Amino acid sequence: MMKIKSKSLKSFNRLFLRIVVFIAISFSVFICFNISRIKFSLDTYNGCKFSKDDLNYDFLFSANIEGDWVAQQAFDDVNKYRNSNRLANYEWSNKAFKEAQKHNEEQIRSGRILHEDFSKRCENIGAWSCAENIAAVWNTSTTPGTDAVNMWINSAGHRRNLEGSYKYMGVAGKKSGKYWWFTAIFYNSGW
């Protein structure tokens, strides 16, 4: 009789241990997934692997919340397009996002789409290879990020950047006057 109880206890302990391990793994995956959803704008987002610079959450509290949402929409749509063409996703770059925001302000001040100082933007983010897409979308659009990406897909030069062999991307959108202004920067860094 004693052997049976001991055998039952061992089975119970093994089952209990499996359940605890399953719950721990499930919880870790849940936490990682939810942190990565919040963290879209942090530089070099890479699943649930964070770098030392990943503790900058300033973008969540910026005055241009609507613009940040539109940037997320455009970023997601670019990666959906890349996936449909069997290309790897771009990783989000907070550095490129900030440069794109500044460039949108310049475009709004000038009232026109421009690529002036493109090489300076690339230099500011530490890129050794870099490309840029810009667009202006009517402000009546309910999906301005998607509309900007669709414009780029339908233009051979812009499409090359969407399909490029870059690792990082940052995009910003800002509504002003009749338009949503967009700048997307694609790049590789390091040597």
- Whether the predicted pLDDT of 94 surpasses 90: yes
In percent, the amount of the chain with pLDDT more than 70 equals: 65
Beta bridge pairs of residue 151 = none
Strand order in the sheet with 168-176: 91-92, 168-176, 179-189, 127-138
Q: Average pLDDT for residues 2-28, to the nearest whole number?
A: 59
- Whether the predicted pLDDT of 143 surpasses 50: yes
Q: Which residue has the higher pLDDT, 159 or 33?
A: 159
- Whether the predicted pLDDT of 35 surpasses 50: no
Q: Average pLDDT for residues 58-74, to the nearest whole number?
A: 61
Q: Average pLDDT for residues 112-128, to the nearest whole number?
A: 92
- What is the H or E stretch that residue 96 is in? helix 94-110
Q: Average pLDDT for residues 77-84, to the nearest whole number?
A: 97
Pairing of strands 127-138, 179-189: antiparallel
CA distance 155 to 151: 7
- Whether the predicted pLDDT of 16 surpasses 70: no
